[in-house]
Amino acid sequence: MVTILTLLLFGGSLVHLFLFVYNRWLLCIADGRWKLPIHYAWFAVSIPLPALGVLLALQTEAMRASLAWSPLDGASRGIFVAQTALLAFWGARSLIWLQERFIPDRSANLLEETVTRPVMPTVPSRLPRGFRGLETTGDLLLVEREVAVSGLGAAFDGLTIAQVSDVHFGERLEMENYFAGVRDLVEQLAPDIVVFTGDFVDKRRDITRSIEYHRGFRGTLGTFYVMGNHDYWTKAERIRSGLAMSHLRWLGGGERRVLKREGRRLVFTGVDAPWDGSRPDWRRVVRREPGDAVIVLSHTPDNAPIAARHGASLILSGHNHGGQVCAPILGPIVAPSRFGLKYTGGFYRVGVDSALNVSRGVGISSGKIRILCPPEICLLTLRAPIVEVMAGRVVPARAILRPIAGVEGIRARG
């Protein structure tokens, strides 16, 4: 019985090892002829081959002793050490995953969140009839978040940002009405700023139509973007040159767009790293002066911790698609991030007083389907915090005023 239980645990630990490496490194490999062979090779090395080796060695005394947790000689002890290390790694990572999944590190900067499901054009399901209830490819959500932004001047209180990420504009005809509905919804929201956080297309043949589509988005004060891995894996320069003929402004090279009101500044900047091959000088990219609030666009949230360390007030990212394919209760299974499933989608605290908004995106990438992971548009309303000087930290104004006033809807303007 002990041996059977150990074999089951061993199988689970091999699956975890496969996903651990697959999430953090292999999913980020550039598209090309070697990508799938590398994925298949890692799968073979990490799951079937070790499992086959264990099954073939079950007849040996050393293997049986180690699986029964009673190693006797040098050979069984060596196997036992390897087995224990693999299971311990899985156990430790599982505890971390449980904490992040069910006890998230919520940011105090998130003041309020509202999720609604707008009426959208129907996207036909690709799943068999009995499983169509699991597909969420076209079930777009509007996620409205009211967030306190470190350093934001009172003059910018109430400014709205619509974040549209990971459109992956493609040739699927059944998605065209859906994409048009996304654009119409953003237009109805009438945001002050529209930002795109990468992955405009998947294939080169769709670049021209994608450029035309994205030109239809406009913020009243500006429309900014950075590019993602799929843009660089197709033809980044062609996308950028096409969008340069419109009102969209690229920030992916550390470019800055500055809004000024009443002597205070709100700075928008961004990076295309790591897919543009650069190693950003984060001090230059963020470059936060006294009285500034700096919003950084980065396709991948993996850049968020280093941007926060250099003073970014708010980082806007996408890339992870919320996992795109999720399991009931367990949630996301894979995400192309060196942080694993930590930043699949949502609002997070990063560093001392920085915040990170990760959009699940509006489109689909590899697999061409979403399972229990609806797409989303994020509408962020920025709120000016107040500085609690005695404590030396930034807190949302509402967190201080609500206990005093006892009024649910109070909004501070200081």
Q: What is the pLDDT of residue 108?
A: 84
Domain boundaries, the chain: 2-102, 110-402
Residue 397: its pLDDT value, please? 53
Please, are residues 163 and 377 in contact by the beta-carbon 8 Å criterion? yes
The angle that helices 48-56 and 35-46 make with each other, rounded to 10 degrees, is: 30
Sort strands 257-261 and 264-271 into parallel, antiparallel or unpaired. antiparallel
Distance (Å) of CA 280 to CA 236, 241, 256, 365: 18, 22, 14, 27
Q: What are the tens digits of pLDDT across the range 18-70? A: 999 998 889 888 877 888 899 999 999 999 999 999 999 988 889 989 988 98
CA atoms in the 13 A half-sphere facing the CB of 228 = 29
pLDDT at 98: 86
C-alpha dist (Å) from residue 106 to 111, 227, 345: 11, 28, 13
DSSP-assigned letter for residue 199? -
pLDDT, one tens digit for every residue, the chain (414 residues): 668 899 999 999 999 999 999 988 898 888 778 888 999 999 999 999 999 999 999 888 899 899 889 887 888 899 999 999 999 999 999 998 888 888 877 788 999 999 999 999 988 888 888 888 899 999 999 999 999 999 999 999 999 999 999 999 986 667 889 999 999 999 999 999 999 999 999 889 999 999 999 999 999 999 999 999 999 999 999 999 999 999 999 999 999 999 999 999 999 999 999 999 889 999 999 999 998 999 999 999 999 999 999 999 999 999 999 999 999 988 999 899 999 999 999 999 998 889 999 999 999 986 679 999 999 999 999 999 875 333 444 555 554 444 433 333 333 333
pLDDT of residue 410: 30
- The whole-number pLDDT of residue 157 equals 95
pLDDT tens string 204-261: 999 999 999 999 999 999 999 999 999 999 999 999 999 999 999 999 999 999 999 9
Could you give the CA distance from residue 31 to residue 167 in angstroms, rounded to a whole number? 18
Judging by DSSP bridges, how do beta strands 354-358 and 314-317 pair with one another? Answer: parallel
pLDDT value of position 171? 62
- Using only the alpha carbons of the chain, give its radius of gyration: 24
pLDDT of residue 387: 54
What pLDDT score was predicted for residue 400? 46
Backbone phi, then psi, for 353, in 5-degree steps?
-135, 25
Report the distance separating Cα 283 and Cα 387, nearest Å.
24
Residue 348's beta-bridge partner residues?
356
Q: Tell which residue, 241, 182, 252, 235, has the closest CA to residue 213.
A: 182
Identify the pLDDT of residue 71: 87
> Is the pTM above the cut of 0.75?
yes
Q: Which residue has the tokens 């002066």?
A: 289
Measured between alpha carbons, how far is 160 from 207 in angstroms, rounded to an integer? 29
CA distances from 88 to 17, 68, 83, 91 (A): 12, 16, 9, 5
CATH number of 110-402: 3.60.21.10
